[in-house]
Amino acid sequence: MATAHLYPWQHDLWTSVTNRVTNQRLPHALLLTGPAETGRQTFASLLSNYMVCRHKTENMPCGSCKDCLLFQADTHPDLVNIFPEAAFKQIRIDQVRDMATFLGCHSNQGGYRVITISPAENMNINAANALLKTLEEPGKDILIMLIAQRPERLLATIRSRCQQLRFPLPNKDIATTWLKEQLPEYTDIASVLEMAQGRPLAALRYVHENFKEKCVLLISGLKAILSAEQPLTEISLSWKELDSLFIFEWMLFAVTTIVRYKMTHQVSVLPAWLQDDAFLTLINHASATTLMEYYCWLTESYGLLVRQINLNTQLLNEALLIHWQKILLRVG
Ligand SMILES: [Zn+2]
């Protein structure tokens, strides 16, 4: 069943878009950009519903007309979602051609037709060129939404034919309040939100995906290195079920807090596990320059992972551990 709602940090953007609809100033193509897991997809879904609803009330779809019911049942014939057939795969030209054929026909319900392509940067070059033709002559009462985390990877000619809607990171207080509502039992919202780099839906996912258990596994690996009780390759193997993006996000968060601690000398800025004497003594001796170099390396590697560049994640995890070992034990 399709969901359509607005997150509390999206109200201003929503009002600005629906005002454009009311004033008939909505362009035929929108490019929704900004960090993943901040609610862009849900926003696009609500806008699709809004565009086809016949009885919009107070800038919201009515939720009960025939079009809203079809939307909720995921069977609205005038709404099309295009996405890769599997994670990390490309969007192919025949998927975009099917969309062009759909746009060439009349609207089934006599109203707007809305197409959402996500992630738009996963279109291969043929698909992108096919889309470009559609964007040049889209037809009447059509809205095409491209959702992209890395819009710079889209053809410039596609970008220039879309109006960009930027989704900034939510305000921290609003995100924290929302997370507290979702996770009333969870006591460390601030840390999980920071580790998720301010993205509330990512923070929520971390907690739902056994965040604490994963952290225990990572911490025990980093500790085992200090005591040299387990070979590094074995530690890396014990992490193999963990998503590499998660490992790097977690490590970036840990190193960021260590750097902050080195600057402020306030132990409270460190997560509880780093306040352990074994870690703290080593952190106090670690050089700030080496830490910054490690931070840069983590950021660069994380960027490669985000861009879905084909990497040997096992080797990357080992490299992360080797660097960590060098910082704390000053090996090599
Ligand atoms: Zn409706």
> What does the longest C-alpha to C-alpha distance in the chain come to?
70
Q: If you measure from the C-alpha of residue 107 to the centroid of ligand 1, how many angstroms do you get, rounded to a whole number? A: 17
Q: If you measure from the C-alpha of residue 26 to the centroid of ligand 1, how many angstroms do you get, rounded to a whole number? A: 19
Mean pLDDT of 54-74: 93
pLDDT at 210: 84
| Strands in 72-171 per DSSP E | 79-82, 113-117, 142-148, 163-166
Which of the residue ranges 2-16, 39-53, 87-101, 111-125 would you say has the lowest mean pLDDT?
Answer: 87-101
Q: If you measure from the C-alpha of residue 283 to the centroid of ligand 1, how many angstroms do you get, rounded to a whole number? A: 58
Q: If you measure from the C-alpha of residue 177 to the centroid of ligand 1, how many angstroms do you get, rounded to a whole number? A: 30
Is the pLDDT at 234 greater than 70? The verdict is yes
* Helix, coil or strand: residue 140: coil
8-166: CATH superfamily: P-loop containing nucleotide triphosphate hydrolases (3.40.50.300)
Q: If you measure from the C-alpha of residue 57 to the centroid of ligand 1, how many angstroms do you get, rounded to a whole number? A: 9
Which CATH code is given to the segment(s) 209-329?
A: 1.20.272.10
Q: If you measure from the C-alpha of residue 330 to the centroid of ligand 1, how many angstroms do you get, rounded to a whole number? A: 64
Q: What sign results for the dihedral spanned by CA atoms 180, 186, 191, 195?
A: negative
Q: If you measure from the C-alpha of residue 4 to the centroid of ligand 1, how many angstroms do you get, rounded to a whole number? A: 12
Q: If you measure from the C-alpha of residue 44 to the centroid of ligand 1, how many angstroms do you get, rounded to a whole number? A: 16
Closest CA to 186 of 215, 206, 172: 206
Tokens of 53: 């609803």
pLDDT at 88: 64
Q: If you measure from the C-alpha of residue 191 to the centroid of ligand 1, how many angstroms do you get, rounded to a whole number? A: 40
For 24, what's the count of Cα atoms within 13 Å in the CB-facing half-sphere? Answer: 2
Per domain, the residue ranges of the chain are 8-166, 209-329
Q: If you measure from the C-alpha of residue 79 to the centroid of ligand 1, how many angstroms do you get, rounded to a whole number? A: 14
Q: If you measure from the C-alpha of residue 96 to the centroid of ligand 1, how many angstroms do you get, rounded to a whole number? A: 28
pLDDT digit string, tens, across residues 95-112: 988 888 888 777 777 789
Q: If you measure from the C-alpha of residue 157 to the centroid of ligand 1, how many angstroms do you get, rounded to a whole number? A: 35
Is the pLDDT at 332 greater than 50? The verdict is no
Q: If you measure from the C-alpha of residue 61 to the centroid of ligand 1, how many angstroms do you get, rounded to a whole number? A: 5
Q: If you measure from the C-alpha of residue 115 to the centroid of ligand 1, how many angstroms do you get, rounded to a whole number? A: 18
What is the Cα–Cα distance from 162 to 266, expressed in whole angstroms? 47
Q: If you measure from the C-alpha of residue 54 to the centroid of ligand 1, how many angstroms do you get, rounded to a whole number? A: 5
Q: If you measure from the C-alpha of residue 97 to the centroid of ligand 1, how many angstroms do you get, rounded to a whole number? A: 29
pLDDT at 69: 95
What is the Cα–Cα distance from 134 to 99, expressed in whole angstroms? 9
Contact 169, 35 (CB under 8 A): yes
* Range 233-242, long-range pairs (CB < 8 A, 24+ positions): 233/318, 235/321, 236/314, 236/317, 236/318, 236/321, 237/314, 239/317, 240/314, 240/317, 242/214, 242/217, 242/218
Q: Judge if 8-166 and 209-329 fold alike in CATH terms.
A: no
**Cβ neighbours of residue 225 under 8 Å, at least 6 residues apart?**
232, 235, 321, 324, 325, 328, 329
Q: If you measure from the C-alpha of residue 136 to the centroid of ligand 1, how many angstroms do you get, rounded to a whole number? A: 30
What is the Cα–Cα distance from 181 to 187, expressed in whole angstroms? 12
Q: If you measure from the C-alpha of residue 49 to the centroid of ligand 1, how many angstroms do you get, rounded to a whole number? A: 8
φ, ψ dihedrals at 29, nearest 5°:
-140, 130
Burial of 71 (0-12, 13-18, 19+ CB in 10 A): buried
CA angle 150, 76, 43 (to 5 degrees): 35
Whole-structure pTM value: 0.80
Closest CA to 204 of 212, 193, 213: 193
Q: pLDDT category, 204, cuts 50, 70, 90?
A: very high
